Structure 1
């Protein structure tokens, strides 16, 4: 009698660039949108090397903290604000998303939800971007304050000339905090 082994797991592979195109790519908002900023960074692996074939997805509220979605419980929805961006990394592991800083959600500081897809991952990893210039709101955010203080900086984007910098470290020293969703 022979036994059948399990099928080996597959990691997220190079199909990302072919199978997940997004017509607007990294543009959550138009170039001339009021308050448009860039969120840029580098995705690095556990050894600190850039990951040239990762994919960053973002999902966020509008500047008033609303979503254009029927599940948004507030009376006034963000009419037409999609809040979604997708950007593959370059050969140097860099990405850039043009967006606006979201407003605060009830009980939460302004933040952007981020999914990272990359080689070697069986599933996406999920994190958040908080903003360094929102210190008071960040201090009251239950999700951020649930993270050990010595690791919170991995979730805070620093201000740059035209937006913010948010690097992602997939593992190792300085690993970005990822959430189990």
Structure 2
């Protein structure tokens, strides 16, 4: 039997199908399936800290926006604490620190409202700069892509961040920085994710 296994062929890889967003975020796709959408409320109404909006596009190698992308986001609260059973009582009531959004089918834009996270503990006593972890899946991507969004106005914290410092080239580090702006009195951070090509976003193998 063990010898026969040597003749088995590798199972072909599969990409996310064109309807992945319907299964994972049906409400955003116009389907009233669940009583409550899973993962839309990232911070909750009781979260302390600076209220921000994060938005951008996912761009392919030709520079065109990809319009059938699903993104998941994880973050700490404004004090750098994640919503985890070990920290029950340390985060605000209703703070999830996790969300799921899809891109707009017409414009390719994605976005969510949250609070700006605080610095978090890293390995070996280090401190990580404020950041949001993103996971991206779309048609044509074999495996979900993992990246981080840092904030361009956290210069000092970013300079000491142990993960950013793993990236040798300054130009590559810049692909992880969301640019701060303001619109209608709201703080907006712009973060475009480039799947390939010039200035491709840094993705992490985790």
Whether these two folds match at TM > 0.5 is yes
Moved more, 17-26 or 132-141: 17-26
* Equivalent in the alignment of 2:140: 120
* Equivalent in the alignment of 2:120: 105
1:61 deviates by: 0.2
Partners of 1:111 and 1:71 in 2: how far apart? 21
CA-based RMSD = 2.2
What count of residue pairs does the alignment treat as equivalent?
177
Residue 166 (str. 1) matches residue 191 (str. 2): yes
Structure 2 residue corresponding to 1:16, chosen from 7, 16, 20? 20
Moved more, 20-29 or 162-171: 20-29
Alignment of 1:21-32 (within 5 A): 21=25, 23=37, 26-30=40-44
Regions of 4+ moved over 4 Å: 3-6, 30-34
Alignment of 1:134-173 (within 5 A): 134-148=154-168, 149-161=170-182, 162-173=187-198
Alignment of 1:31-50 (within 5 A): 35-50=50-65
1:85 deviates by: 1.3
Which structure's CA Rg is the greater one? 2
Partners of 2:163 and 2:12 in 1: how far apart? 35
Partners of 1:131 and 1:26 in 2: how far apart? 22
Q: Deviations over 1:1-35 (max 9, x none)?
A: xx765442210122321111271654413579662
- Structure 1 unaligned runs (5+)? none
- Structure 2 unaligned runs (5+)? 1-6, 26-35, 122-126
Residue 78 (str. 1) matches residue 91 (str. 2): yes
1:97 deviates by: 1.2
